[in-house]
Structure 1
């Protein structure tokens, strides 16, 4: 079941008209446990910067936090999958915030199969509402028996997963693709806590890496193959990733 509030009040048929009829906006997705979240400051900055870029307006972090707390309290939960959506109808003095609350989710930790696809997101640095293309290719990957789609540009440069970031392991360093993409919150938390570097990676380079893993707000998991390239599921690497993530503080909303 999903509970929805808009501007701090339970959603109604009238207030749901805006998100139902508007495809211009942005959001962030988080996993909340005991009314706390990893990387709260990163979520708030993501919302602030995207609001500035898309609407040329300010978004008060205190208001966002208050609306999240209000929605959790009204839904009577402390553990949740929660999203904050931002819209700004023309003529309004401030943004419209929609908060959705669903049961908590965790990424299954089993090794993933990934299918590369010839697609990259528009304005990839923004977590925007224009998700048709990535959802189309993710659906195609799932129908083909894979777990995720790997977005690549016309030159075969690897960018990101449809709903994840991807990292590669050469035995010494974690390599994140150096390409236009969304800086996921989990990636942003892990990158400085692991021996990380960024590098341009193409489909032709995939076989040169020993292992790979995916990250998003629901967690992380190893990759066992991309297309015909198979990877070692490195228990030591995944333990290192897990320990780095466990070291991240939980922030009170």
Structure 2
């Protein structure tokens, strides 16, 4: 029997079957849902248990229903097989169409991605997400401000609360280095999987990790900063007109912590 060619990217499945036109109406007309994004390499994912816990927690909060992790794993494996790939950028979405008793799970598969390690420039913007602890599709505010930042020559938008507190990037978490500790902003935000994994692994490379308030007007007191998301880590070179040193030794140590994060089989 001839093996079928890989499905073209992007590829999507709903509850384990290739997306139909009717399926695609769900995300097109229903923006009340949640998701998680992960990088898959050779059928493995960093922090898979954290991804599954995120999906289950959000599903319970939004829909008052559990989302079984083993079911999700099976759907991810099925979608990867359907796309004919072992390396991919994969997202898992949860929706509850009106009248349905069970959560509809959409799994999307695209080509693998890795965050550029080049230093990033950030533009601060006055925006804080509603219910920030849930990762949701169709975030207009984040996309809007990220677009403005790009048009102004920046790589990413840095979200700030009305009181001037730094919260997170448009699609990242941010950590600061004060010379002694990695400082994560103590503010409402989405606790990213890479951020959570680094918090576990940083002590192993001799770095303390703390949470405290970071004010936009106090960023100049920090020695360095870096970004994290599902695609990896990158140093920050500038926030608005404030230059930050790219601490190569710090990034090497953070990189060792990140590289030491174990991979889990889907």
* Band of TM-score, shorter chain: over 0.9
Counterpart contact for 2:89–2:112, Cα < 8 Å:
yes
The SS at the match of 1:214 is strand
Q: TM-score, normalised by structure 2?
A: 0.94
Counterparts of residues 138-157 of structure 1 (less than 5 Å): 138-157=146-165
Equivalent residue, structure 1, for 2:181: 173
Equivalent residue, structure 1, for 2:200: 192
Q: Does 1:208 align with 2:205?
A: no
Q: Does 1:135 align with 2:143?
A: yes
Equivalent residue, structure 2, for 1:51: 59
The SS at the match of 1:107 is coil
Q: Deviations over 1:149-198 (max 9, x none)?
A: 00001111000000000000011110000000000000000012221000
Equivalent residue, structure 1, for 2:248: 235
Report the alpha carbon displacement of residue 130 of structure 1 after superposing the two structures with TM.
Answer: 4.2
Equivalent residue, structure 1, for 2:109: 101
Q: Does 1:40 align with 2:48?
A: yes
Q: Deviations over 1:24-43 (max 9, x none)?
A: 00000000000000000000
The SS at the match of 2:168 is strand
**Mean Cα displacement is larger for which, 213-222 or 128-137?**
128-137
Report the alpha carbon displacement of residue 129 of structure 1 after superposing the two structures with TM.
Answer: 2.0
The SS at the match of 1:89 is coil
Report the alpha carbon displacement of residue 231 of structure 1 after superposing the two structures with TM.
Answer: 0.6
Q: Does 1:79 align with 2:92?
A: no
Gaps spanning 5+ residues in structure 1: where? none
Q: TM-score, normalised by structure 1?
A: 0.99
**Mean Cα displacement is larger for which, 162-171 or 189-198?**
189-198
CA distance in 2, matches of 1:157, 1:204: 9
Select 1:223's aligned residue among 218, 236, 241: 236
Select 2:170's aligned residue among 162, 166, 190: 162
Equivalent residue, structure 2, for 1:252: 265
Counterpart contact for 2:38–2:91, Cα < 8 Å:
yes
Q: Does 1:62 align with 2:59?
A: no
The SS at the match of 1:15 is helix
RMSD: 0.7
Equivalent residue, structure 1, for 2:133: 125
Q: Does 1:6 align with 2:14?
A: yes
Gaps spanning 5+ residues in structure 2: where? 1-8, 203-207
Equivalent residue, structure 1, for 2:6: none
Equivalent residue, structure 1, for 2:4: none
